[in-house]
Amino acid sequence: MKAGVSTSLAVSPVTGARFSRRDWGLLAAAVLLAGCSSAPRKGAGPAPVPSPQALNLDGELREALLARTMLVVNTPYTYGGNSPEGGFDCSGLIQWAVGGITENRLPRTTAQWAQFSNPVGSRSLQRGDFVFFNTLGARYSHMGIFVGNGQFVHAPSSGGTVQRVRMDNTYFAKRFTEARSIFA
């Protein structure tokens, strides 16, 4: 028998297994440590890292972006569309709206828009920021432009039209992944 180690045994009231005091101590430590390994709270963790490819446009262009976006509300959805005449899909709407306020070369897909924008905390969301949703199993499968008052504008899907929708809409609230901005 090793010095300093108890060999007295206790019986588990649940399983009937025999445990030494040392075993009970290890079990108690494991339970305490497991409590420390729970998933982090939403919003915890390191600050978002800015994208090196972000457009970083002047913030004074936000209202011009919104005005341009609101001009095409009720335009039909068209897969691959990127004009008022031909209709819009979600990223085509963004490309057309942003194209009216900058001469920069612009991305086309939702994933590319995420690369060309910076993360925004949900509490820092401003008019003109982008909102992204996981609607097809990918983090950036749908997007829209936040217009304030808890609403965003997007081109929804086949048979729909460009529309303003609430962020707390049951469908979109469950699928919201993050907000990002093209403004400095």
For 39-66, letters b (16+ CB in 10 Å) and e give eeeeeeeeeeeebeebbbbeeebbebbb
- What is the SS3 assignment for 88? strand
Active site residues: 90, 142, 154
Q: Contact 38/47 with Cβ under 8 angstroms? A: no
Any idea which residue has 């965003």 for tokens? 152
